[in-house]
Amino acid sequence: MREFNKCKVAFVIASAMAIVGCSGEDGKDGITPPPPSSGTSLETSINMISHSLDEGMATFEFEVTNEDDKLVSGLQKANVEIAELTEKGIARSRDDFEGERAGGNASESTAGASLTEIETGRYEFIAPMENINAATEGIIRLAVGGSEAIAKSRYTIVAKSENVHTTTTETCQGCHVDFHASDIKHSSYTAINADGETDLVAGCLVCHNNVERDHGGYARNTMQKLGHINHQKFEKDFTPTNCYTCHAEPVINTSIAGNGCSDCHTSEVSDNAMAMMASGEFDAREFHAKSLHIGLDERITIRAEHTTELSAIYMNIEGEYCTDLSLFKGEELLDIEALYADGTLSYASTYIHGYHNESLVGRESRTYNESYKGDGTKTFCHPVLDLNTPQIMASSRLTFKGGNWVDEDGKHGVSFTAYSPVSSLSDLGNVMDYDRRHSVTADSCTTCHNNETNYHKNGSYAEGGLDCVACHNNGQDRSAKNSAPGFGPMIHSMHWGVGSSAVTGEPNSATELAAENCVACHADGIELEAIPDQYIRAKAFHNGDNTKMASPIMANCVACHDSAQAINHMEQNGGEIDAEVTPDWYTQPTGESCVTCHAEGKSFGIDKFHVFDRD
């Protein structure tokens, strides 16, 4: 059956009408001059006109253009792969497979193949494949070029059957951002559709079929194995059992021995699950989320239903600095004391912080006396302040155990962090709202760290890491495995800098993602000029020496750009990572001039070298 690209057909018809309507004034002898063409390309594009599948043969008609949108003449190379939709899913057998083969592939050099330039820049490619016919369904992938004169095109998905995959380009690139631009293995195979839009999953499926090589597929790593097994190597708190992360559409399976299920499960499964599968209405995403063994649905529900609030700091009759923690389910105030007693909660605590210029500048108090008022709230009273900064505020953490809780440094359970309003130390009644610049999006952490638990110490991944700021801030001066200070610098280093190997001794999975794809976290962009001109305590850069501090932009940039040349450039322009701490360090301006050249929109703006937009 022959299928036409509608847009291209319209173009061809319009062109024909234009030729018919030519007069002697339009071109010599009434002939329209041919469109501009070239025999070379640095970038090659395929404009599909039609394709057809017949018994043992596929035929394609297309135009080829270059980077200047000129038609390209002299094409000598083309190749096509057809991954067939079978009862076992998508499969493309290798030529040496001895069983029943599916799909196929061919190039211009295949016996019986032909690549003909039927007019300037327009080609017919006839590709013999013995296993296909007019009824074959699946995925058809085409590429052309690859000679010295004509660059190889992007792999193009010519046709794709409905519902051949439930994962999407968007879910994959939630973490990978732009797979084609990365240096991950096989990134050059990233496919586009006829409209030039990335079709990542379809392109991968052509080789990484649903069927393994020994059973009639192409690769040993099936697509589902890549997702279910290989992603388990993610360094921290990614779980493939949160199926919603990758599968945008319901995952229907009718056999536990089928594709995907057998990667993790044996045939031993409950009668209830088998009955649901057989009904054809079984959605594996929901099944895994609601599994009590996994506990994901419970954790999601706890987080969705509950919030915490922390009162402004006040002084009690003993002269202690106090704050009240409230836990709500919807609008209902819950009894923290009772929930502790019955084992629902594992942790509730507060700290008091110094605050200046919309930044946390140190921990004022680490010890407190706790009590309950009888109204459901929990009170924390701190007898002594260490820093006596002009402004103070408090943070709290509260953790639900949940059914899968393990007592391990606060890594498990569902945790909530709250920040109190800011109070003047000299007049606690003088209160303002807490605010801190936070340039990452709310789901930037949970897109990859998807199991709804905590990194450590009852600090969750929710709200773009706002929990982490309670400890990792300008003045807390954490070592963070000697990665980088504060919050932003630490995150950069832990993912792509020296911190990436600080936990296990080996670089973590984030290093497989392109570090320049800042949009993965900074989906709304960044604004260098909005970064507070304020130092960060920096013992993380100095092996625990707490007498040093760093300017903020350099601290963030050097977490990744740590060569001697890069450090020298930053220091020559006012950046510092080893300034001496003074008693009033947090009030001192820095000498950084980075925004002069590197603010967004400038000739050497950060946006010229980092990605802040998704295509």
Q: What is the pLDDT of residues 55-76, one digit of tens each?
A: 999 999 999 999 999 999 999 9
Last residue of a domain, one of 220, 241, 264: 220
* Rounded Cα–Cα distance for residues 550 and 535 (Å): 5
* Rounded Cα–Cα distance for residues 280 and 164 (Å): 16
Same structural domain for residues 449 and 343? Answer: yes
- How high is the mean pLDDT of the chain? 90
Number of domains in the chain: 4
Count the Cβ atoms, other than its own, within 10 Å of residue 329.
11
Within a domain: 336 = yes
What's the pLDDT score for residue 502?
A: 87
Within a domain: 23 = no
Same structural domain for residues 457 and 482? Answer: no
* Rounded Cα–Cα distance for residues 41 and 153 (Å): 10
Same structural domain for residues 70 and 86? Answer: yes
Least confident piece of the model among 219-228, 363-372, 503-512: 503-512
With a CB cutoff of 8 Å and minimum separation 6, the contacts of 225 are: 212, 263
**Tens digit of each residue's pLDDT (9 = 90 or more) over 296-325:** 999 999 999 999 999 999 999 999 999 999
Can you give the C-alpha Rg of the chain in angstroms? 30
* Rounded Cα–Cα distance for residues 440 and 492 (Å): 12
Same structural domain for residues 129 and 173? Answer: yes
Same structural domain for residues 245 and 359? Answer: no
DSSP state of 310: E
pLDDT at 2 over 70: no
* Rounded Cα–Cα distance for residues 178 and 291 (Å): 33
Within a domain: 459 = yes
**Tens digit of each residue's pLDDT (9 = 90 or more) over 8-51:** 444 343 344 344 444 444 445 566 777 888 999 999 999 999 99
Same structural domain for residues 304 and 450? Answer: yes
Within a domain: 503 = yes
Same structural domain for residues 394 and 504? Answer: no
Whole-angstrom CA distances from 224 to 76, 220, 228, 247, 613 are: 36, 11, 6, 11, 29
* Rounded Cα–Cα distance for residues 78 and 68 (Å): 21
Count the Cβ atoms, other than its own, within 10 Å of residue 370.
12
Q: When comparing pLDDT for 8 and 405, which is higher?
A: 405
* Rounded Cα–Cα distance for residues 29 and 399 (Å): 85
Percent of the chain with pLDDT over 90: 76
Last residue of a domain, one of 450, 471, 492: 471
Within a domain: 407 = yes
* Rounded Cα–Cα distance for residues 434 and 421 (Å): 5
* Rounded Cα–Cα distance for residues 501 and 493 (Å): 10
Least confident piece of the model among 215-219, 499-503, 551-555: 499-503
Same structural domain for residues 320 and 460? Answer: yes
What's the pLDDT score for residue 182?
A: 85
Within a domain: 152 = yes
* Rounded Cα–Cα distance for residues 520 and 148 (Å): 36
Last residue of a domain, one of 447, 471, 495: 471
Could you tell me the residue range of the domain that residue 56 belongs to? 45-220
Same structural domain for residues 105 and 162? Answer: yes
Within a domain: 40 = no
DSSP state of 418: E
Same structural domain for residues 301 and 357? Answer: yes
Same structural domain for residues 126 and 155? Answer: yes
What's the pLDDT score for residue 9?
A: 40
Within a domain: 53 = yes
DSSP state of 154: P
* Amino acid in the structure at residue 518: C
Same structural domain for residues 348 and 447? Answer: yes
Residue in 32, 33, 34 with CA at minimum distance from that of residue 18: 32
With a CB cutoff of 8 Å and minimum separation 6, the contacts of 69 are: none
Vertex 356: Cα angle to 459 and 382 (nearest 5): 60
What's the pLDDT score for residue 23?
A: 46
**Tens digit of each residue's pLDDT (9 = 90 or more) over 87-122:** 989 999 999 999 999 999 999 999 999 999 999 999
Are the C-beta atoms of 153 and 143 separated by less than 8 Å?
yes
Give the largest CA-CA distance in the chain.
Answer: 104
* Amino acid in the structure at residue 191: A
What's the pLDDT score for residue 318?
A: 96
